[in-house]
Amino acid sequence: MVNVLIWGRARDLVAPDVAASLALREASRFADVLAGIDPLGSTLVLADAALIDAERDAVQSWLVTGGRARALFLAVAEKTEDADALLARLNFVDDVLPRPVGAARLRHRLDRTLDQIHERRAVQQLDQALARKSQELHELNEIGVALSAERDIQKLLELILRKSREITAADAGSLYLVERGDEKTAADDRLRFKLAQNDSVVVPFEEFTMPLDERSIAGYAALSGQGVNVSDAYNLPAGSPFQVSRAFDEKSGYRTKSMLVVPMRDHRNRVIGCVQLINKKRDAGLVLWPASLVEEMVIPFTSTDIELVTSLASQAAVALENTRLIASIRQLFDSFVRASVTAIEQRDPTTSGHSQRVATLTTGLAELVDQSDEAAWRDVRFTRDQLQEIHYASLLHDFGKVGVREKVLIKGKKLYVGESLLVRQRFAYIKRTLEAEHLRDKLERALAGTASRELLEHLDDEHQRHQDELTRVIDVILRANEPTVLEDDSFRALLSFAERTYLDLDGQPQPYLSGNEVEALSIRRGSLSEKERREIESHVTHTFNFLATIPWTGEFARVPEIAFAHHEKLDGTGYPRRLKAEDIPLQSRMMTISDIYDALVAWDRPYKKAVPVPKALDILHDEAAHGKLDRALLAVFVDSKLFERTLPQRGEAR
C-alpha cells in the first residue's frame, strides 16, 4: 500500500475528484513532509514546485542521504511550465506532473511507485553491502600490512588475536599453536595454549600444552581444518565430539557463551594453530560484568564473522610463518657471525673477546645517543634493526684479519719467533766457538811448554772480556727486540753488529746480524715495520671486501660501510681511505672510540702492556682534543661510564 502525502494544499495540486476520493494528508513545510513519511512503508509525495524551490537544499540533502528509498518525490507545476526545465533545475525530483493531477495519472503513478521504491531499496541495500565489504576488505588489508610488518613473534601473536576480536566484537579470545611431533604417527602432536585476552575479567595466563585431539574445541578445529561456530558453549549440539571446559568460568565467575574457533593455515595449507573467539557482543565497548549481562548482550557469531576471521587467520598464519622463518634466518646468521668471530680469535688468540666487547660498547653508545634529548642528538634515532646493524658491524669489524699473515698478526716483538730463536742459537754458537778456541789455545801452549801462569791468566782474562762483550751484544739485541722506543745508542750499536763477523762451520765469515735482522731491530717504535704495518692495516679492506660479498637484507645494508670506516679519524689521518669527518658514518665514529678504548685497556698482549682505565680515557680525550675523535660522542661514552660494561668482574679473566 502506498501512502500519498500532499506538500501544499490538495485543492491546488489535484483534481476535485481525487481530493474527494483520497484521504490526503497535507504538509505545509518540509519538516511536516518528513514527519508524514512512513519509514517502513512507501510514500508518494505530491509537492508544489514552488515549495520545493523554497527548501530545495533540505529536500536534496534528505533524498541523497537515503530518502529516495522511502519516498517518491513528484513536483506539481502549471501546465504552461516547461517540465524539462523544471527537472533540470530540480534534478533530485523524480518527475513533474501538470496541475491539477487527475485520478488516472495519479493511479498510474501509484502503480509504479511501489516498484520504484522497492528497486531503490534493493539498490541501497546492495550499496550498503558493497560498502561493508569494501570496509571489511580495507580493514583486512590494513591488518595484513600490520601483520607483515611485525617481526616480534610474541607481539605478532597478540596482534593476531586482538585484531580478530576487534573485527568480530569478541569480548575474549585465545590463541593456540600446533607443535608437531613424529610426522609419521602424529602421536606426539600437541596444542600449545599460547595467549589469552579478555576485556571483562583478568586472565591469570600461563602457557601449557595439551594433546592435539578432538576432545577440545580447538583441537577439533585444528584436526578437521574447519571453523567451529557455537552459539552456546554450555549447550553444545547433540553428538558434538568436543567439550568446552568450564574451569576458567568457575574460577573467575565469567560466562562463556558464543564461540568461534578458526584454524590458521600456512602457505602449504597446513594448520599451524587456531584462533578462538569468545562472546560476540552487541556493542563492542561493553564490559560483560557481572556475568548476568552475557545472556542479554552476547549474540552468536555470524557467517560474516567466519569469513573475516578465516581470511585474517590465513594472513596471520603466513605472517607467523614468515616471522618464524626470518627469526630462524637471523638466528642462523647470528651463529655465522659468532663463528666468524671465533675464526678471528683463533687466528689471534691474544685479542680474544675484543670483537664482543667492541660490539657491547658501540651498541651501548648508540642506544645512549638514541635516548638522549641533548641538542646534538635530538634528531638522531636508531631503529631496532639499525642497532642490530651496528652490532653486526662491530662484531665483524676485524674479520679481515683472516687475510693477514698469522706471523704478522701475532707479532709481539720486532723479530719473528723463528728469527729470534735463530739469533739466540747463533750467539750461543759464537760463545761456544770462542770457548773452544780459548781452551785449544791454552792446551797448545801447555803442550809446547810456553804456558806460564801469567800467560794463562792473561788468556783467561781476554776470553772473559770477549764473553762479556758477547753478553752485552746479546743484551742490546734483546732490548732492541722489545716493541719499545729504540734509543739512538742502541740503533748505532745494531749497525756496528752487522760489521762484526764470526766463522761458521765451513770456516766462512758471517755477520753477527744479517741485514734483515738489523732492519727489523731498528724499528723505532712498536714491533712492526712499515710494510708489516700496511699489511695489518689492510685488514680493514679485507673486512669490507668480505662483508660486501654477503647479500645483506635492506635493514643491514650498511654493515660493510660501517665496519670499513672504524679506523678513520676525523682529521683525515686514519686509514685506509683517509676520510674526513663529514664522510665518516656516525656509527663508525662510535666504533672507533670503542675499538681504541678496548685496545688500550685489554689485558697484556705480547706487544703492549694493559693501560689503566683513567689513562686510557686521558688518551681518548687527547685524541679528541687533536680533532681525531668525536668530542660529543666521547662525552657520552665517558659521562655515562659506558666503559664499565666491559670491565672484568672480580676474579674474571679478560
Torsions phi, psi for 288 (to 5 deg): -85, 65
Cα separation, 200 vs 222, whole angstroms = 27
Nearest to 220, CA basis, from 280, 279, 274: 274
Residue 654, pLDDT score: 47
Cα separation, 160 vs 154, whole angstroms = 10
Spatial contact of 49 and 73, defined as CB atoms under 8 Å apart: no
Spatial contact of 363 and 387, defined as CB atoms under 8 Å apart: yes
DSSP for 412-468?
-SSS-HHHHHHHHHHHHHHHHHHHHHHHHHHHHHHHHT---HHHHHHHHHHHHHHHH
Q: Are strands 208-211 and 190-198 parallel, antiparallel or unpaired?
A: antiparallel
Cα separation, 468 vs 48, whole angstroms = 135
Residue with cell 578432538: 214
Query: Reduced to 3 states, what is the DSSP secondary structure of residue 648?
Result: coil
Query: Reduced to 3 states, what is the DSSP secondary structure of residue 594?
Result: helix
Nearest to 350, CA basis, from 431, 413, 411, 272: 411
Cα separation, 467 vs 509, whole angstroms = 19
- Residue 160 C-alpha from the chain's centroid: 18
Q: Which residues pair with 637 in a beta bridge?
A: none
Cα separation, 52 vs 81, whole angstroms = 15
- Other beta carbons less than 10 A from residue 63's beta carbon: 17
Q: Quick one: three-class SS letters along 96-142?
A: EEECCECHHHHHHHHHHHHHHHHHHHHHHHHHHHHHHHHHHHHHHHH
What's the pTM value of the predicted model, to 2 decimals? 0.61
Largest CA distance in the chain: 176
Residue with cell 763477523: 501
Mean pLDDT by 10 residues, the chain (654 residues): 80 77 76 82 84 88 80 84 84 84 76 68 61 61 63 79 88 90 68 91 85 91 92 90 89 93 85 91 90 91 87 78 78 85 79 89 96 89 92 93 83 86 90 89 82 83 88 86 75 80 88 87 83 89 92 89 96 94 96 94 70 92 95 95 78 45
Q: Which residues pair with 259 in a beta bridge?
A: 230, 278
Cα separation, 195 vs 605, whole angstroms = 52
Residue 151, pLDDT score: 66
- Other beta carbons less than 10 A from residue 420's beta carbon: 17
